[in-house]
Amino acid sequence: MNNLEYNKAEDAVNNTQNSLKNAADNVKWKVEELADKAKDYINEKRANDEEAQQEDWLDRVKNNVSDAWDDIKDKANDAWEKTKDAAEDVKAEWNKKTN
């Protein structure tokens, strides 16, 4: 087997790693931002003469996290398939060389 086949597999693994890292980095509301978002929520409710409620706030956070999880899951699935395909290509090439 030549280095080209190994390089393809290594590139697929690197792309997988980068894809997952980017998905995690791009989560809509990062943990550091939650306190600011909570303050904004409270101020919004106050401006509308409404009572800020913890359950309502947690529902907003939960919905955002759910959307982010779907994005991460999709990228992880794509990365899995690409890595699996590259590994199968390397294995097939290896089998051709050794049989």
Q: According to the model, what pLDDT value does residue 17 have?
A: 74
Q: What is the pLDDT along the chain (99 residues), one digit of tens a residue?
A: 567 766 776 777 777 777 777 766 766 667 678 888 899 999 999 999 999 999 999 998 888 877 778 877 888 888 788 777 777 777 777 777 777
3-class SS letters over 16-70 = HHHHHHHHHHCCCCCHHHHHHHHHHHHHHHHHCCCCCCHHHHHHHHHHHHHHHHH
Give 64's contacts (C-beta < 8 A, 6+ positions apart): 28, 29
Query: Is the C-alpha dihedral spanning 50, 54, 55, 56 positive or negative?
Result: positive
Q: According to the model, what pLDDT value does residue 85 have?
A: 74
pTM of the complete model beyond 0.75: no
Domain ranges for the chain, please list them.
3-98
